Structure 1
């Protein structure tokens, strides 16, 4: 088993991503942890955002497919 972490800008999007990953059998379970404060560099500025943390539980054999799906469906640029 693996646990992957990703954030989403809000609960609606996190919920949509979680349902997609479960429906596609890329995750066995996704825990949504609301109200995570993220501080990061973006466009040469320090940004503070409230986000939702997704804790994604999956099989190691599905790791690359999970990563590929997140890159494809996630709204963030990186």
Structure 2
């Protein structure tokens, strides 16, 4: 079961999470507040508020979830990273598969 790691501004994170779950591209999205420091357009931006979104999805839906995040995300270059866990508890994996199955 892949998990996407996405960062987003706090005002955009709830809508991103909701859209992914509503559209069955994710079974669950955990949102965690964070502070980020990064370089953009040659300048260092320090102590920026963001939220980390952990997007739980299925192998069959991960590409569509990545595409949808890119479409909805307000950043020009959103952080979208894929984690491929080697082991997932079977009941949790079955729940993700069921929750991301298109209607």
Q: Do both proteins adopt the same fold according to a TM-score greater than 0.5, normalized to the shorter chain?
A: yes
Matches within 5 A, 1:21-40: 21-34=20-33, 36-40=34-38
CA distance in 2, matches of 1:56, 1:71: 13
User: Structure 2: any 5+ residue segments left out of the alignment?
Assistant: 78-103
Tell me the TM-score normalised to structure 1 length. 0.92
User: What is the alpha-carbon root mean square deviation over aligned residues?
Assistant: 0.8
Following TM superposition, by how much is the alpha carbon of 1:38 offset from its aligned partner in structure 2, in angstroms? Answer: 1.0
CA distance in 2, matches of 1:39, 1:51: 10
Structure 1 outlier segments of 4+, above 2 Å: none
> Who wins on radius of gyration, i.e. which is larger?
2
More helix by share: 1
More strand by share: 1
For these two proteins, the number of residue pairs brought into alignment is: 76
CA distance in 1, matches of 2:28, 2:70: 19
Describe the superposition over 1:36-77 as per-residue Cα deviations: whole angstroms up to 9, x where unpaired. Answer: 111111010111211111111000111110111011000011
SS at match of 1:61: coil
